[in-house]
Amino acid sequence: MRDLHPTRKAETRFGLLVSDLTSTCRDIRLSDYKMAFLDKLVGVKVTYSLGKKAAEESRKVLQEEKKSLKPGVVSKVGAPLAHAATHLESFLYFIMGTLDILASITVYFYPKHRKALSTYTYFKDQMAKTFLTHPNISPEYAACS
């Protein structure tokens, strides 16, 4: 696994984790979470790549416009900047979606606290309203916040 790209490592490790969980608790939803997680990672990679490309394009357009400095010329940097902003927002959406999927499988790691954890299916809520308000669930996790 050493030669794998970090993203590939994350995909592989998550796949192995879900396989282990499935073998012990036999919950069919885990395979759905696995596919959703992998889909979100694809979204992360694609939007990162597109955002980076749009940011580089806007930098290039801006540098070319600085060279010409003709009065009255309308700037063309707006479109690539808008694309970069859109891709950044999408990138963040996919990151949050990935964290929400991880929150969905957290209940399998803390079976004694399943009820408290399953109340909040979003990462942000699960972290703030469960782990931080009930530090006994995972003292190490609560201490990191």
Q: Are residues 100 and 126 in the same domain?
A: no
* pLDDT above 90 (res 1): no
* pLDDT above 70 (res 61): yes
* Host domain of residue 36: 6-109
Write the burial class of residue 108 (CB in 10 Å: 0-12 exposed, 13-18 middle, 19+ buried).
buried
Q: Are residues 102 and 53 in the same domain?
A: yes
* pLDDT above 70 (res 31): yes
In a domain, 27, yes or no: yes
Q: Are residues 53 and 118 in the same domain?
A: no
**Structurally, how many domains does the chain consist of?**
2
Q: Are residues 48 and 17 in the same domain?
A: yes
* Residue partners of 27: CB distance under 8 A and separation at least 6: 21, 108
Q: Are residues 143 and 89 in the same domain?
A: no
Write the pLDDT tens digit of every residue in 42-52.
999 999 999 99
Q: Are residues 32 and 12 in the same domain?
A: yes
